[in-house]
């Protein structure tokens, strides 16, 4: 169980892994996540379920090496086993079956988080447009996979090395200003990006969902580490989400909470790199 059966490098420091975990695969649905642990004394981290194959019993995760735990995970290879692989957790993605037109906006590591949702909607005959973005061409991945399931795929890069120069919100603005309308827009990526998307879609009053990935620890809501204000209520991203109505999210509070442990995380990662001989 929890054996790595697929490992693929998608972009600099970005890896796809297929984990053999029949119990998790059997119950997984688009929008959910897993929590895994790499080392006996290591931390638990949440990762979105990028895709799943119930017949083969495989769950696919995509992650970027940004800290100690993801670095350790990237060093595992096919045949290795992950100590803990718990899921599926969180609430699945739900949509109005009457809606026909969808737009997905994904930045950076948000790209894999839309994949299983797009596949599901495509199987139902929905019209789907997608905007993806990254810092440069080398940070764009899953382009060919997404093209199979959408009507239009738009790409932006910060430096203009691929697609349109600028941000995903630039393309979003252009589409909406040209008269394009959607029954639902789904945004996932860095918190400032999701906030910027919501700021735009509010003007048009287009239903907008966001996938929040703040600090999660136990995945059950007991630790309170992932609490976020939604409207006038405090919710927990791990059990009440991670998908919420973007118009109701307190993005300013969420951004503050996401920065609480940044210094400690950076120290831990620097110490880890020094230990394995990578220096600073």
pTM: 0.86
**Residue 19, marked binder:** no
The CATH class of 3-89 is mainly beta
Instruction: Give domain limits for the chain.
Output: 3-89, 101-211
274 marked as binding residue: no
Quickly name the fold that domain 101-211 has: Rossmann fold (3.40.50)
**pLDDT value, residue 171:** 96
Cα angle 201-164-170, degrees, rounded to a multiple of 5: 20
* pLDDT given at position 274: 56
| DSSP of 83-96 | SEEEEEESPPP---
Is 226 labeled as ligand-binding? yes
Give CA separation, 261 vs 39, 108, 225, 256, 265, in Å: 20, 21, 11, 10, 6
Q: What is the number of other CB atoms lying within 10 angstroms of the CB of residue 128? A: 23
10-residue block means of pLDDT along the chain (280 residues)? 93 93 96 90 87 96 87 93 92 92 92 92 96 92 92 95 94 95 95 94 96 72 79 88 93 72 48 54
Helix (H, G, I), strand (E, B) or coil at 191: helix
């Amino acid at each position: 169980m929890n054996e790595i059966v697929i490992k693929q490098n998608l972009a600099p420091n970005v890896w796809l892994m297929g984990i053999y975990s029949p119990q998790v695969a059997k119950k997984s649905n688009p929008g959910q996540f897993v929590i895994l642990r790499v080392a006996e004394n290591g931390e638990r981290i949440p990762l979105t379920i990028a895709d799943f194959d119930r017949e083969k019993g495989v769950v696919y995760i995509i992650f970027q090496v940004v800290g100690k735990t993801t670095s350790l995970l990237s060093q595992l290879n096919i045949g290795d086993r992950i100590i803990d692989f718990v899921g599926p957790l969180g609430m699945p993605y739900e949509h109005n079956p009457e809606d026909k037109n969808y737009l997905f906006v994904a930045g950076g590591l948000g790209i894999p988080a839309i994949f299983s949702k797009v596949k599901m909607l495509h199987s139902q005959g929905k019209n789907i447009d997608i905007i993806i973005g990254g810092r440069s061409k080398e940070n764009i991945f899953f382009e060919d996979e997404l093209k199979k399931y959408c009507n239009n795929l738009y790409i932006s890069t910060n430096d203009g090395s691929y697609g349109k120069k600028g941000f995903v919100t630039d393309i979003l603005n252009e589409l909406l200003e040209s008269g394009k309308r959607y029954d639902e827009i789904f945004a996932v990526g860095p918190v400032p990006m999701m906030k910027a998307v919501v700021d735009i879609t509010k003007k048009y009053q287009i239903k907008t969902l966001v996938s929040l990935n703040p600090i999660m620890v136990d995945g059950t809501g007991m630790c309170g580490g992932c609490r976020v204000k939604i409207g006038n209520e405090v919710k927990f991203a791990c059990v009440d989400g991670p998908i919420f109505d973007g118009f109701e999210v307190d993005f300013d509070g969420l951004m503050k909470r996401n920065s609480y442990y940044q210094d400690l995380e950076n120290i831990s990662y620097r110490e880890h790199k020094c230990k394995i001989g990578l220096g600073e």
